[in-house]
């Protein structure tokens, strides 16, 4: 199920960035990007900070290993990102 708010409910600055992204990449922005940009003060910033700490913070695993774990988990969950 897609939320229509994520298709057209962004504020003007986010609409501009999403539009520019589409022009540069010649494809629609990923849904995860749309979610982060919809209400960054509510979800986007906090989640990005958490993900950054998990993926790039101190760990016994390398960044590459963590990325591989994330990609494998996403694959198991049929998630494209």
DSSP notation for 14-47: HHHHHHHHHHHHTSPPPHHHHHHHHSIIIIIHHH
Reply yes or no on whether the pLDDT at 2 is more than 70.
no
CA distance 23 to 75: 28
CA distance 18 to 11: 11
Reply yes or no on whether the pLDDT at 1 is more than 60.
no
pLDDT at 43: 78
Residue 30 banded pLDDT, cuts 50, 70, 90: confident
Q: How much is the average pLDDT of 26-39?
A: 84
What lies within 8 Å, CB to CB, of 66 at 6+ separation is 54, 55, 59
Q: Read off the DSSP letter of residue 69.
A: H
Reply yes or no on whether the pLDDT at 33 is more than 90.
no
């Amino acid at each position: 199920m897609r939320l229509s708010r994520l298709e057209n409910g962004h504020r003007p600055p986010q609409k501009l960035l999403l539009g520019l992204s589409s022009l540069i990449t010649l494809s629609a922005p990923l849904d995860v990007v749309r979610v982060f940009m919809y209400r960054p003060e509510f979800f986007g910033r906090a989640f990005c900070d958490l993900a950054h700490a998990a993926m790039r913070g101190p760990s016994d695993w390398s960044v590459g290993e963590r990325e591989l774990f994330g990609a494998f988990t996403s694959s198991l969950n049929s998630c494209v990102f």
